[in-house]
Amino acid sequence: MTGPVYIGDEISAAGWRLTGVRVSTPGPGRETEAFASARGRASLVLVSAAVAARIDAAALSTAAGALTPLMLVLPDPQGEVETPGLAGRLRTQLGLEG
C-alpha cells in the first residue's frame, strides 16, 4: 500500500499534492471507479464531500466500515455540500433506511 490519496476537485487537489499526497480528480460518473482504485492502493483515502455525494452509497458504506484502508470524507469548505452524517450512516447500516 502507498501513502494517502485525495479524491476531489482540482483546486483542492493542488494543495494536497503540495503536501506529498497522491491525488485523483475524477470526471463526472467516474467517482466510484476512482474511489475503488484508491482503496486498492492507499493506506488512507481522503474524499471531498462533493465527490462522496456522487460515489455509490453501497461502496461508501462498505468503505466506512472497513478497517483498512482508513477513509475520511472531508467537509466542503464552502458549505455547499453536506458531509454524510453519522446518524444517517448508522440508520443505513442498521437497515432502518435504504
Give the residue extent of every domain in the chain: 5-93
Read off the C-alpha cell for 61: 458504506
Q: Return the pLDDT at 84.
A: 59
Q: Return the pLDDT at 37.
A: 96
Is the overall model pTM greater than 0.85, yes or no?
no
Of the candidate CATH numbers 3.40.50.10580, 3.30.565.10, 1.10.357.10, 3.30.1330.40, the domain formed by 5-93 belongs to 3.40.50.10580
| CA–CA distance, 50 with 13 (Å, rounded to integer) | 13
Question: Taking the CB of residue 15, how many other CB atoms lie within 10 A of it?
Answer: 12
The mean pLDDT values, 10 residues at a time, for the chain of 98 residues are 92 96 96 96 95 91 90 80 65 73
